[in-house]
DNA sequence: TAATTTGGTTTATAAAATAAATCTGTTTAT
DNA sequence: ATAAACAGATTTATTTTATAAACCAAATTA
């Protein structure tokens, strides 16, 4: 897939849930676990795993705090994540540009 | 993921190689195995499997012929595949629209 | 006629997504 | 005060998917 015609798609972003999370974090700049779960309609387990992956890649920062007595997991996109997301969107264009013209 | 904000991404199309194949078939309307393999830089095994999946979903038609004495596997997109591809591209917009504005 | 190449398919392995189970602590009802 | 239910997650297990490796049949080349 490393041909001129199609740019490779970052596997870390080429996932429905991780893409949705990144899309949300691009808008709001900071969001907690509960908010992300509601907006994406994901299960908690799935969201937890995918946040770990994004965090492990350095695409998001995760801060564990408390809101009152309840735990609160805050997420925000890093610069690296921002760049990666824009690059992913750019790469996608090489696959879907023709379709947009139709 | 069935929330208003993010449209679900057809898992059959949300794959780098299958997406590349569909993108090529949208352009050329007919292509053989060897051409698809070259353009996507995929391994033959991977391409074979992914063509089966697209074919099984009714997104492409596969016709096995001969070119001279050599086997030749011809592929073309079906109407169903065309619709699915356009729908996929539309759904993608719900994830990446903000990024395009940046 | 023995390699080698072409055009693939099948099988096995690795990675990813997802669901189910579990855990810690809090709130509510009894 | 205690049990039951709930919030906010994490961990583990299962299923699905992607990918690579191995293989096969026919054709070509040496």
Q: What CATH number has the domain spanning B16-101? A: 1.10.10.10
Q: A23 and B98: CB-CB below 8 Å?
A: yes
Strand D interface, B 35-74, C-beta < 7 A: 43-46, 49-50, 53, 68-70
| Number of other CB atoms surrounding residue A99 within 10 Å | 19
> What pairs with residue A60 in β-bridges?
A77
Residue A65: which nucleotide is closest by CA–C1'?
D8
Q: How far does the CA of B60 sit from the C1' of D4, in Å? A: 55
Q: Which of A83, A49, A7 is nearest to B99 (CA)?
A: A83
Q: Which of B62, B74, B54, B56 is nearest to B13 (CA)?
A: B54
Give the pairing type, strands B31-32 and A31-32: unpaired
Q: Which residue has the tokens 């492990």?
A: A56
Q: Is the dihedral of CA A43, A46, A49, A53 positive or negative?
A: negative
Walk along chain A (102 residues) and give the pLDDT tens digit of each residue. Answer: 434 789 999 999 999 999 999 999 999 989 999 999 999 999 999 999 999 999 999 999 999 999 999 999 999 999 999 999 999 999 999 999 877 776
pLDDT digits (tens, 9 = 90+) for B54-66: 999 999 999 999 9
Distance from CA of B66 to the nearest CA of A (A): 27
Q: A23 and B85: CB-CB below 8 Å?
A: no
């Amino acid at each position: 897939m490393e041909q001129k015609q199609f740019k490779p798609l970052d596997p870390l972003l080429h996932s429905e849930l991780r893409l949705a999370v990144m899309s949300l974090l691009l808008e709001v700049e900071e969001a907690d676990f509960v908010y992300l779960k509601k907006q994406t309609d994901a299960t908690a387990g799935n969201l937890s795993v995918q946040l770990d992956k994004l965090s492990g890649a350095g695409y998001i920062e995760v801060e564990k705090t408390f809101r009152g007595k309840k735990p609160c997991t805050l997420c925000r996109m890093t610069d690296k994540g921002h760049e990666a997301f824009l690059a992913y969107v750019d790469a996608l264009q090489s696959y879907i540009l023709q379709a947009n013209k139709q």
